[in-house]
Amino acid sequence: MKVTSRSKVMPVELTVRPDRQGYIVEDATAGEFYEMSEPSVQALQRMREGLSLEAIEEELSARFPDEEIDMIGFAEQLLELKLVAELDGIPVRGESDSERSANAKPLKSGGFGWISEPFARFWFHPVMRLLYVSVIIMNIALFIAKPGLFPQYRDVFLFESMALNSLIWLGISFVLLMLHELGHIMAVRSFGLPAKLGIGHRFLFVVFETEMDGVWRLTPKQRNRAYLAGAGMDQVMLLLCLAVQFALPGEPGFVAKLAAFAALDLVVKLVFQCCFYMKTDLYYVVENGTGCYNLMERSREWLAVKLRGRGGDPARAIEERAVKWYAVFYAAGYVFTLGMIALFFAPQLIVSLTTVIPRLAFPAEGGPFWDAVVFLAECIGLGALLLYSWIKSRRNAV
């Protein structure tokens, strides 16, 4: 089907919500959300009124003289996104508007529906939010009062057995990760929206992620609750870990060591929140606050122009001051990552390998040899999971 300037395009049923710097347009049937500008939303409205593309382009060019209006290109994009119901009175292959409406995803359907909205909303009462802020202040106060509470890379070595240490790390990390995601899930459910868990990766780590596309139905201020809830849960758990260590002074026993282990995991995750190149929760908060929902891509574009003088679109990238500032944080994220590798991961890896590899040469020793074998098997298993996550993310990006 060919689009011409005289064509009349009828969009599918769409829901339009105002946002910080434009509009969020929802295709409820497909569960997809799109960021659109004022001219784009006006064009959709005129299309539904039956105007030709030529007439719409003439009107919008007069109303928005500083914008480049290309209605044929816009209509072709809508066709690619399957957002067109009819073209010149001919139904576009697919469902009719009535069928799409019947198949639309209900606002309150989906995962974790067994968590009631009132119960989830309780955890975000103003009094509870004040409590979470107090928790952050107490964590800072504890680190200042007792600097020895700050995690060290040695905290992961609870036992001489590297396999046992790695199993404990996997267990603790998994539990803390689930609690982190529970924070996101509770926040999403507090608005009566669905949420589900998926698998992904951050840097070299396999992680579970709460898929909450439905938050685009919320206002920017409400979305921040969903983005920050996981970090709030992390802070609560960090306070518990620090309190245990603070209450058990002297030579640390197993409980205190376990708390230090968990605190290390939480602090590392907190630092990684500042690594915006991984699109962390904090990244989405910044993106949400600025209203620029492609900050990462535009910052790469800006950096390409500044560093190489080519490879980007400077006219578009420099339009937003937020992009320039974000580009600084984007680059700083790599510095944070290198710092974490130098302070934590590299020393841990060196200690682990220098302990494990020599044991493989002495199978007759029994326990130490098999400890090394199990440890390496765990590493291979985690590597396979990470590879699966990378392949999955690349397929989804295609």
Three-state DSSP at 261 gives helix
280: pLDDT strictly greater than 60: yes
Mean pLDDT highest for which of 201-215, 274-288, 381-395? 274-288
The lowest-confidence range among 86-100, 153-167, 242-256, 313-327 is 313-327
Contacts of 143 (CB under 8 A, 6+ apart): 149, 150, 242
Please give the pLDDT value at position 202: 62
Please give the pLDDT value at position 229: 95
Please give the pLDDT value at position 25: 93
What's the count of helices (H) and strands (E) in the chain, helices before strands?
15, 8
Q: How confident is the model at residue 224 (pLDDT cuts 50, 70, 90)?
A: very high
- Residue among 2, 398, 384 at smallest CA distance from 201: 384
Coarse DSSP helix, strand, coil percentages of the chain, rounded to the nearest 5 percent: 65, 10, 25
Please give the pLDDT value at position 328: 79
112: pLDDT strictly greater than 90: no
Average pLDDT over residues 327-348: 86
- Residue among 207, 206, 208 at smallest CA distance from 382: 206
Q: What is the C-alpha to C-alpha distance for residues 386 and 212, in angstroms, rounded to an integer?
A: 22
Mean pLDDT of the chain: 84
Please give the pLDDT value at position 205: 60
Which letter does DSSP use for residue 104 in this model?
P
The lowest-confidence range among 212-221, 239-248, 327-336 is 327-336
Please give the pLDDT value at position 317: 43
376: pLDDT strictly greater than 80: yes
Three-state DSSP at 84 gives strand
pLDDT in tens, 82-110: 999 999 889 986 655 555 555 555 555 45
Q: What is the C-alpha to C-alpha distance for residues 300 and 326, in angstroms, rounded to an integer?
A: 10
Residue of higher predicted confidence among 298 and 144: 144
Contacts of 350 (CB under 8 A, 6+ apart): none
- Report whether 231 contacts 273 (CB < 8 A): yes
Contacts of 13 (CB under 8 A, 6+ apart): 28, 29, 97, 100, 101, 104
Please give the pLDDT value at position 20: 81
Q: Delimit the domains of the chain by residue range.
A: 9-102, 110-272
389: pLDDT strictly greater than 90: no
Which letter does DSSP use for residue 1 in this model?
-
241 vs 237, 246, 345, CA distance in Å?
Answer: 6, 9, 21
Q: How confident is the model at residue 130 (pLDDT cuts 50, 70, 90)?
A: very high
Share of the chain above pLDDT 70, in %: 85
Please give the pLDDT value at position 318: 41
Q: What is the pTM of this model?
A: 0.79
322: pLDDT strictly greater than 90: no
Q: What is the C-alpha to C-alpha distance for residues 253 and 29, in angstroms, rounded to an integer?
A: 56
Please give the pLDDT value at position 98: 55
330-356 per-residue burial string, b: 16 or more CB within 10 A, e: under 16: beebeebbeebeeebeeebeebbeebb
pLDDT in tens, 36-79: 999 999 999 999 999 999 999 999 999 999 889 999 999 999 99
Average pLDDT over residues 320-324: 68
Average pLDDT over residues 141-169: 91
Residue of higher predicted confidence among 217 and 300: 217
Q: How confident is the model at residue 324 (pLDDT cuts 50, 70, 90)?
A: confident
Q: What is the C-alpha to C-alpha distance for residues 201 and 180, in angstroms, rounded to an integer?
A: 15
The lowest-confidence range among 207-211, 257-261, 309-313 is 309-313
Please give the pLDDT value at position 398: 53
Please give the pLDDT value at position 305: 66
